[in-house]
Structure 1
């Protein structure tokens, strides 16, 4: 029996996947959770065979969850199911050594077959994403610029970012200015959006 943990913040989709997987005689959904932190807590206690996770979830993203599982050297396999075909996300997923990366518009039969393939030791990426693996785009931002843009994305002002990072407002403005130039955009909001779309935040 393949013991699956399902982590997906959209309740309707989570319920539908659980119901569909319940029809498979060799697959059991042992838990379904709505955010990454809940998933991490459960994984440490129950060690499911496979974690079926969304990328964008509250508290802990699917990629951050995959990284934690890798760092902790836990045996459970990770399969990401997402609406996002962003090269940056796929590259991060490969770096986290996930076992599967599927788009949500794949047929359910393909998803179920992928679960079985992963448990047999294969790695699976949606066919539509295969070419993306060869289109690696270098992230021009440094670690501090990424941190600052992440806070911009969360809606913080320069003053709030300055307080949170214990840096002067001038230093924050410099980081933002450099990031805007590197990404060839006109505003901090655009810079945050572009970096997010490329999977760099």
Structure 2
């Protein structure tokens, strides 16, 4: 039996996914949780063959959870299952160690097939998302630029950001200026929206 871990913060969706997978003769859901941190803990406890993770979850998102699971339970494969088919998410998920990226409106039999294929060592990616990702290219923001932009999303002043990030005010301004330039935005708020829409944050 293929041991599957589910992590999805919407109870109805999580229940529906568990019910669908239970219909497969070769699969069993060994844990079902509502956030990324719980997913990592459940992976350590239950040692699943495959973890199906939503991206946007509380406490820890699916990409952070992917990295955590792969670090602590390296034999477990991870499939990202999301409503948000954003190219940047695909790059970040694969960088974190995911073996699959499937959108939630995929047919149930294709989801089960994706679980089997990643367990067999294949990489499974939604075809339309793969094309969009190739067209858009990789995330243009560096790790530090992403960190500064995330910190700036709450509208904090440059001075406050400098204290929070342990950087000089000039360095914070330089990072924000670079981010605005790379995203083609006019303001840092617009840059953050663009980055979020593309899955770069």
Please say if residues 100 and 114 of structure 2, whose CA atoms lie closer than 8 Å, have aligned partners that are also in contact: yes
Taking the TM superposition and a 5 Å limit, the aligned residue runs for 1:114-125 are 114-125=114-125
Q: Which residue of 2 aligns with 1:112?
A: 112
Change (3 A) 1:143 1:65: same
1:76 aligns with 2:72: no
User: 2:23 and 2:189 mapped to 1: Cα distance?
Assistant: 45
Q: What's the TM-score, normalizing by structure 2?
A: 0.89
Q: Which residue of 1 aligns with 2:135?
A: 135
Tell me the C-alpha RMSD between the 2 structures: 2.0
1:149-185 CA-partner distances (Å, limit 9, x unpaired): 11123x1412442331123445433322332123221
User: 1:53 and 1:160 mapped to 2: Cα distance?
Assistant: 34
Change (3 A) 1:138 1:50: closer
User: 2:198 and 2:133 mapped to 1: Cα distance?
Assistant: 13
Q: What's the TM-score, normalizing by structure 1?
A: 0.89
Please say if residues 87 and 135 of structure 1, whose CA atoms lie closer than 8 Å, have aligned partners that are also in contact: no
1:123-170 CA-partner distances (Å, limit 9, x unpaired): 2112222323533524333333211111123x1412442331123445
Segments of structure 2 that go 5 or more residues without pairing to the other structure are none
1:157 aligns with 2:170: no
User: 1:189 and 1:126 mapped to 2: Cα distance?
Assistant: 30
Q: Which residue of 1 aligns with 2:174?
A: 174
Segments of structure 1 that go 5 or more residues without pairing to the other structure are none
Residue aligned with 1:55, SS:
coil
User: 1:17 and 1:77 mapped to 2: Cα distance?
Assistant: 17
Change (3 A) 1:199 1:28: same
1:64-104 CA-partner distances (Å, limit 9, x unpaired): 12222333462111011111221111112222332221111
Q: Which residue of 2 aligns with 1:4?
A: 4
Residue aligned with 1:135, SS:
helix
Q: Give aligned pairs, total.
A: 200
